[in-house]
Structures are given as structure tokens and as C-alpha cells.
Amino acid sequence: MREGPGPPAARNKGARTANVTDRFRRPFAADYPARSLHPGAWWLWALGLGTAASRSTNPLLLGLVLAVAGFVVAARRSTQPWADAYGVFLRLGLIVIAIRTVLHIVFGGGFGSTVLVTLPQAPLPGWASGVRIGGPVTAEGLVAAVTDGLRLAVLLACVGAANALANPKRLLRSLPAALYEVSVAVVVTLSTAPQLITSARQVRRARQLRGDRARGPRVLRTVLVPVLQDALDRSIALAAAMDSRGYGRTAGVPPAVRRATAAMLLAGLLGMCIGVYGLLDAGSPVLIGLPMLLLGAAMAAGGLLLAARRVPRTRYRPDRWRAREAAVALSGLAAVVAVLAAEALGDTDLVPPVAPLTWPSLPLLPAVGVLAAVLPAWVAPSPDSPPEAAA
């Protein structure tokens, strides 16, 4: 397909040289067919950054993570509707910081000596000892609360970045075959919402034609009923179409395999939950962190592979895992590894002490790791997806 016209001999020769240069240039060549990056790569990258952020309360490092994620989103997001997710998650993060701070002021932390203001303290009965409402607000406590909120907000921002960069529908398409039915349900729901709005608008216009200006409960009857009937008709038509097109063809699987599949999936998910907890919670032993996560993931993957035998589907032009995807995922992983390594080396700048208050300094190794995660801003293909935006 990349060959131009020309006499056969010349074309062959051209093809061979093209092949060689291709193999050499392929990974990051700008003219490489710019189908979008595998959504899984973006999620791995974002989760890597997020995990790195969750292990630190250093505002400088957290700010760096935020800047890196924001920069990559700005450089590589598309014009599609989901691309605004980053902004939404940033706002959500601000709310989280605000709540965390207010909670701290109201319920007090009470450590540190730099009292900024003393709120009136509500007297509580004896059994509530340990809980306090009001009282002195210290600078140290406030800083601890804000940085803690900031950590959560940055984690949210990383999730937002993944949402903004990866097409959610394509991510669903990349799910394992065993989860296919779930992903179809989600996709259908996603496309039904706009249809409902169109349908409601149509019916309301038709109501005006009858001179009907119903308000309140009567609107439910005159607008909602036809809209729901319409939605029901549509779903039945869609179900019939999907059935006609082979949806739900299954291959026979013996019951023993089915039970093994279910057991492996459950155990795997449990293992992954424990592993993620261990990894995000800095206080838990190293052993139940990464190793548990890997074990759980392996079990779950095995279960999914087994389950996939039930679904004879194949996939058209699946998103492939190539050098670019690996580079993007690795750059995210670099951030985690750097932070974990710094932790193991006992870098105190990761969680700077708040009492006494000092200006934190940027931990060198984690900063380098987080900076590596800015790589996708150049490595990932530019999402100038052509005709859709024009239409």
C-alpha cells in the first residue's frame, strides 16, 4: 500500500530499501500511520504517575507530577468530547483539597506549636474523648492537611489525564474477550444517552404543536411516556440487529473449566486488591505490595484467558502494542520505580516533616523519574484525526 506506481523492477528495489529504512525508523517516525495510541498504554502511564504521586506529600514533587500530566494532555489530547476530562478532574481535585482542609480545621489535628487561630471548642461528653471539634488551628497541621489533600488531588488528575487521552470506547474494545458482553452494554448505554435527548426534544416540539404547555407532573406523562416508548422500541430494534449479526455466538465449554475460570478470576481480583492497597499505603510491608499485585494480576489474566475460550470472537484492527506504546508505559513506570527506589534509599524529601515547618526541597531521583514521564508528549502520535472533526 505504501508502494507507488512504477515498473515492477524499480518498485521491488524501492520496496526493499523502504523496508530497511522502515524497520529502522518505524518506532517513532512521524509519518507512521497515526492511528491513536493503544488506550492501555495511556492508562499504564497515568497509573504509574499516580502511584508515584501517592507515595509522596512533597508539594514540589506533586506539583511536578501535575505539570507533567497537564503538559502531556495539552500536547496529545484530541478534539473528541472526552478530551475535556482533565479539566473536570482538576476541579474535582480542588474540591478534595478544600474538603480535606475544612475537615482538618473543624475536627482539628492539634499537633505543632505554631497556632494560627483558636476556634471555639465544642464541649463533648466524656465517651467521645479523642474527638475534638474546634480548638487551635496550627500551621503545621494545616500544611499537613493541604499536602495530603494535594496528594489525592494529583492522583485524581492522573486518572483524569488517562480519561482525556484514551478513547473510552476503544479502551472497552481492548478489554479481554471474556468481558466483551459487559463492554458492549457500556458502549450501547453511552450511545443511547444522546438519542434520548434527541427524542425528548422531538416529542416536546410535537407537544407544542398541540398547543400543550404542560408543566410539572403532567410533563412526565406527556413527554416521558413517548420518549421511553421510543427508547424501548430502539433497544428492541438494536437487539434484533445484534442478534442477526451474530452477537452472542458461544463455543461449548465443559463445566469444570467454567468453575476453574470463576475461581481463578475471583482469587486474582482479590490478590490485585490487596496488592494495590499495599502499594498505595506507605505503611504496609513491601511484601504485600508489588509481589501480591503481580500474583493477583497473573491469576486474573489466566482466568480471563480461560474465559475467553467461551467467546469465539475475533477483533478487527485491534490496537497494537508497539514501541510507542511500550515507551509511553515505561515512562510512567519510570516514575514509580524512581519513587520506590528513593524510598528504599531512605530519601526524607519524599515525605518532608511538617514539624518543624521547613521549606521542602525537591528529591532528585523521584524528580528525574517523574520528568521521564513527560516523554509521551513527543513519543505518542499526534491525534490530528482528520475527517471526523471536519464533519
Partner 1 sequence: MIRFDDVTITYPDAEAPAVSGVALHVPEGELCVVVGRTGSGKSTLLSAVNGLVPHFTGGRLTGRVLVGGRDTRSHPPRELADLVGMVGQDPVAGFVTDSVEEELAYAMESIGLPPAVMRRRVEETLDLLGLAELRDRSLATLSGGQQQRVAIGAALTAHPRVLVLDEPTSALDPGAAEEVLAALHRLVHDLGVTVLVAEHRLERVAQFADRVVWLPGGGAAPVAGPVGEVLARSPVAPPVVRLGQLAGWHPPPVSIRDARRRAAPLRERLSAARSVSGEWCQDTIYDSRGGVAGAGVVVRYPQRVAVRGVDLRVGAGERVAIMGRNGSGKSSLLWALQGSGPRHGGDVLVGGEDPARLQPAKRRKAVGLVPQQAADLLYRESVRAECAQADAETGAAPGRTRALLDGIVPDIDGDAHPRDLSEGQRLAVALAVTLAAAPAALLLDEPTRGLDYLAKAALAAVLRRLAAEGTAVLLATHDVEFVAEYADRVVLLADGEVIADGPVADVVTSSPVFAPQVAKVLAPQRWLTVGQVERALAGGGG
Distance of CA 354 to the CA centre of its chain: 31
Exactly one of 246, 255, 283, 346 binds partner 1 (CB under 8 A); which one? Answer: 246
Residue 230's alpha-carbon distances to 195, 222, 233, 265, 330, in angstroms, are: 10, 13, 5, 39, 48
Contact between 239 and partner 1 per CB under 8 A: yes
Q: Interface with partner 1 by CB under 8 A: which range of 3-11, 147-155, 233-241, 255-263? A: 233-241
Q: Which stretch binds partner 1 (CB under 8 A): 13-21, 45-53, 232-240, 263-271?
A: 232-240
DSSP run (H or E) holding 369: helix 364-372
Residue type, 214: A
* 118 three-class SS: strand
- Candidate residues 238, 267, 274, 298; the one interacting with partner 1 per rule CB under 8 A: 238
Phi-psi category of 249—alpha, beta or left, where left has phi over 0 and alpha has psi -120 to 50? beta
Q: How far is the CB of 207 from partner 1 (least distance, A)?
A: 8
Contact 152, 93 (CB under 8 A): yes
| Nearest to partner 1 of 71, 247 (CB atom) | 247
Residue 33 C-beta: closest distance to partner 1, Å: 12
In the complex, minimum distance from the CB of residue 171 to partner 1, in angstroms, rounded to a whole number: 14
- Separation of first and last alpha carbons in the chain: 26
Among the listed ranges 146-154, 240-248, 265-273, 358-366, the one in contact with partner 1 (CB under 8 A) is: 240-248
193-222: contacts with partner 1 (CB under 8 A): 202-203, 205-206, 208-213, 221-222
Among the listed residues 83, 92, 133, 184, the single contact to partner 1 using CB under 8 A: 184
Containing 135, the helix (H) or strand (E) segment is strand 133-138
Contact between 138 and 267 under an 8 Å Cβ cutoff? The reply is no
User: CA 101 to CA 111: how far, in whole Å?
Assistant: 15
Residue nearer to partner 1 on the CB measure, 25 or 313: 313
**Residue (76 or 173) nearer to partner 1, CB:** 173
Cα–Cα distance, 254 to 251 (Å, whole number): 10
Q: Would you put residue 317 in left (φ > 0), alpha (ψ -120 to 50) or beta?
A: left
Question: Would you say 169 or 258 has its CB closer to partner 1?
Answer: 169
CB of 391 to partner 1, least distance (A): 4
Q: Which of 63, 248, 291, 353 binds partner 1 (CB under 8 A)?
A: 248
Q: What does the per-residue mask of binding to partner 1 show for 292-331, with x meaning CB under 8 A?
A: --------------------xxxxxxx-------------
- Residue 33 as a binder of partner 1 (CB under 8 A): the answer is no
Q: Distances from the Cα of 314 to the Cαs of 170, 193, 295, 308, 377, in angstroms?
A: 15, 28, 28, 11, 32
Q: Total binding residues for partner 1 by CB under 8 A?
A: 47
Asked if 174 is part of the footprint of partner 1 (rule: CB under 8 A), the reply reads: no
Rank residues 132 and 234 by Cβ distance to partner 1 and give the closer one: 234
Which lies closer to partner 1 via its Cβ, residue 147 or residue 199? 199
Question: By C-beta, is 132 or 310 nearer to partner 1?
Answer: 310
Q: What is the rounded distance in angstroms from the CA atom of residue 337 to the CA atom of residue 353?
A: 23
What is the DSSP annotation of 307-321? HHTT-----SSPPP-
CB 109 within 8 Å of CB 141:
yes
The footprint of partner 1 (CB under 8 A) covers: 169, 184, 187-188, 191, 202-203, 205-206, 208-213, 221-222, 225-226, 229, 233-234, 237-249, 312-318, 385-388, 391
